[in-house]
Amino acid sequence: MFFDEMMGLGVEGMMISPGYSYDKAPDQGKFLGRAKTRKLFTKILSNRKKGWRFNQSPLFLEFLMGERQYKCTPWGMPTFNIFGWQKPCYLLQDGYVDTFAELIKETEWERYGTESGNPKCANCMVHSGYEASAVDHTFTSVGGMFATVKAMLFGRHPNRAALEALDEGGDDGHPTSAPVALTVSAKPRETAPVG
């Protein structure tokens, strides 16, 4: 599997996030709705190997699997580039402002997230809005901290049905574990002598 290959190459941590049918995406028909996204991530992340390292909140991974519910936190990952401060969400491309103060004060935050009613956000589960919510849950409550520690120590999520579904293939008739042509060349990391 891809994750095994990445760990074998010495990747320090992986990040995953679902795509969704935002306006600028070229092929709208290839995107999944929220229910199919949860089903897919349940297949991928259930029964995961202990050696797979994700550079993400374990509660966000549980959210992707449908085990947790979060609201979007559109201000959770502000982006600055040569154009200025980007209004959320970067996928919607609602423009830029010159200062962080403008971003915070003038953005109509209630217009973002699935709960806002904004049709552009209807199927979103992307990290830029929901991982921030999972991290906030971790650090603002004892329950969130406990859930994070539990997920880090015991988060393998055994699921026989998910394992069988991987063997059977996807809803579209294609095997979900189909091989992907991937060529990766890597050199061993050089380390500086200590001392």
Q: What is the pLDDT of residues 126-138, one digit of tens each?
A: 888 899 999 999 9
- The structure tokens 């991290």 sit at 135
Q: How far apart are CA 76 and CA 104, in angstroms?
A: 11
Please report the pLDDT score of residue 176 as a whole number. Answer: 47
pTM of the model: 0.79
- Residue-wise burial string across 159-168, b where 16 or more C-beta atoms lie within 10 A, e elsewhere: eeebeebbee
Q: How far is CA 155 from the centre of its chain?
A: 16
Give the model's confidence band at 104: pLDDT under 50 very low, under 70 low, under 90 confident, else very high.
Answer: very high
Helices 160-168 and 34-45 meet at what angle, rounded to 10? 100
Give the model's confidence band at 5: pLDDT under 50 very low, under 70 low, under 90 confident, else very high.
Answer: very high
Q: How far is CA 191 from the centre of its chain?
A: 31
Letter for the amino acid at 192? A
Contact 113, 72 (CB under 8 A): yes
Letter for the amino acid at 102? E
Two structure tokens written together for 1: 């599997």
Q: What is the pLDDT of residues 53-66, one digit of tens each?
A: 999 999 999 999 99
Q: What is the pLDDT of residues 64-80, one digit of tens each?
A: 999 999 999 988 888 89
Among 13, 71, 165, smallest CA distance to 3 is for: 13
DSSP, res 21: -
Most confident of the ranges 13-17, 122-126, 146-150, 165-169: 146-150
Q: What is the pLDDT of residues 159-193, one digit of tens each?
A: 788 778 777 765 544 444 444 344 444 555 555 55
Please report the pLDDT score of residue 193 as a whole number. Answer: 58
